[in-house]
Amino acid sequence: MVGGGQGAFIGAVHRLAARVDDRFELVAGALSSDPQRARESALELGIGIDRAYADWREMARAEAMREDGIDAVAIVTPNHLHAPVATAFLEVGIHVICDKPLAVSLEEGEALAKLAREKRKLFALTHVYSGYPLVRHARTLVEDGALGEIRIVHVEYAQDWLAEPVEAAGANRQAAWRTDPRRAGPAGCLGDIGTHAYHLASFVSGMMPNAVSAELHTFVQGRQLDDHVQALLRYPNGARGMLWASQVASGAENALRLRVYGTEASLAFDQEMPNELWLTMRGGAAQRLTRGRIDSVDALHATRVPAGHPQGYAEAFAQLYLDAALQIEAMDAGRPPPAESRLLATVDDGVAGLRFIEAVLASSAADGRWRDLR
Ligand SMILES: NC(=O)c1ccc[n+]([C@@H]2O[C@H](COP(=O)([O-])OP(=O)(O)OC[C@H]3O[C@@H](n4cnc5c(N)ncnc54)[C@H](O)[C@@H]3O)[C@@H](O)[C@H]2O)c1
C-alpha cells in the first residue's frame, strides 16, 4: 500500500476490503509522506520492519527485486501522486489498484493507460459504488432492455462536509489537500465526487455522453477549487442527462442517487439505501427490489450475506478487490480474465473520468458552452 498511514481515511477501507475474501495480505507499505509516520504506521499494521518503506520509489525498487515481492500495490494517496506512483510500480511489473480520480490531467491518464497495456498489468480503479449487487443488477436490467430505450439519466452526489471553510484551520487533512490545486488537481468537488457520479451513470446506463454543458461554482469564500458542479449531458442515442455534485449541500451525508428513465420503465438507486432498487413500469406502481431476492448473475457474484441482512459500502469495496484478484490470477497464468470479473473499473474508466473533468472545466470557463466528450 502507498498512502493510508495514521490518520488517513480511505487506506483503512481498502485494507478492510482487501481482506474480506481472503485473497490479499498486506505485506509492504510506504504509508505516509513523513518517513517516521510511514514506519510507525506500517509497524502498527504488522508489516515487517524490512518492508516498512519510507518512500514509494524505494518500495517499488525493493519489492521488484524480492523473490516474494508484492503482486499488487494499492494507491491511496492524494490525487497528484496517483500517476507517478502507479508509473513506478507498473514499470517494474507490479499490478496496480488505484483510487480515483486516475490522475490530475487527461494527458497523465492516457500515458498510464498506455503503460498498463504495454506492461500487461492490471490497472483497477476503485469506483466503489459499482461494487453494490443492486447497482450491478440495475446494469443488467438496462442491458436486458427492461427499461426500453434510455431517454433520461439523472445522477446526483451531495455532501455537506465542505460547507464551511474547514480547510482554513488546517486541522482537517482530507479537506486541506482536496481544496489545494497542487495536490487535488484542477478539479475540486468535480474530481472528488463528480467522477464517481459520472462513472455510476455510465456503468448502469451502459452509455457514455458525447457532449457536456457545465457550470462549476465555489460557494465558500477563498476556496481555490470548485465545491459545486452542475452539468447537462447529451448522449449519442438522443438521450439527455443531468449530473450535479456538491460538497456544500447542507444536511447531505453521502447522497449519491441515480435515476434512469427509458421508454418502458425507470430505475432509482440511492447509495444510502444500497439494499434496495426501485423499478417502475410506465404507468405502473413502483416495485421495490431487494438485494437478497434478485438473481442476475452479476448481482449474485457481488453478494456476500443472506437475504434480509444489510450489505454495504465495505462489501462493495471488497467486490473490487475480489474482481482484481480474479483478474490478476488469470493474467499471471496467461489466461483471459473470468467473465464475472469484467465489471471492475479500469484505467480506461479513469481516462473517461479525466476527459469529463477537462470538458467540464472548459465548458464552465466558456460560460457553459457545449463541449465534445468523444
Ligand atoms: N473510492 C472512494 O470512494 C474514495 C473515498 C475517499 C477517498 N478516495 C481517494 O483516495 C485518495 C486518498 O484520499 P483520503 O481521503 O484517504 O486522503 P487522506 O489525506 O486521508 O490520506 C492520504 C494518505 O496519503 C499519504 N501520503 C501523502 N503523500 C504521500 C507520499 N509521498 N508517500 C506516501 N504516502 C503519502 C498521507 O500521509 C495519507 O496517509 C484520494 O485520491 C481520494 O480521491 C476515494
pLDDT on residue 307? 97
- Matching CATH number, 134-305+347-372, of 3.50.50.60, 1.10.3730.10, 3.40.50.10420, 3.30.360.10: 3.30.360.10
pLDDT on residue 59? 98
Give the separation between CA 37 and CA 87, rounded to whole angstroms. Answer: 24
| Residue range(s) of every CATH 3.40.50.720 domain in the chain | 2-121
* Ligand 1 atom with minimal separation from the 126 CA: 1
The DSSP result for 148-164, as a single string, is -SEEEEEEEEE--TTSS
pLDDT on residue 374? 84
Mutate to test the pocket of ligand 1, among 2, 6, 9 (most ligand atoms within 8 A of CB): 9
pLDDT on residue 84? 98
**CATH code assigned to 2-121:** 3.40.50.720
Pairing of strands 72-76, 2-3: parallel
With beta carbons less than 8 A apart as the criterion, state whether 158 and 192 touch.
Answer: no
| Residue range(s) of every CATH 3.30.360.10 domain in the chain | 134-305+347-372
pLDDT digits (tens, 9 = 90+) for 126-159: 999 999 999 999 999 999 999 999 999 999 999 9
Pairing of strands 95-98, 72-76: parallel
Give me the residue label for grid cell 469484467: 342
Give the separation between CA 3 and CA 117, rounded to whole angstroms. Answer: 25
pLDDT on residue 169? 82
Give the closest residue to 161 by CA, choosing from 180, 178, 181. 178
pLDDT on residue 170? 80
Ligand 1 mean position to 178 CA, how many Å?
10
Cis peptide before 306 (omega within 30 of 0): no
* Ligand 1 atom with minimal separation from the 127 CA: 1
With beta carbons less than 8 A apart as the criterion, state whether 83 and 108 touch.
Answer: yes
pLDDT on residue 242? 98
Q: Residue ranges of the chain with pLDDT lower than 70? A: none
pLDDT digits (tens, 9 = 90+) for 65-122: 999 999 999 999 999 999 999 999 999 999 999 999 999 999 999 999 999 999 999 9
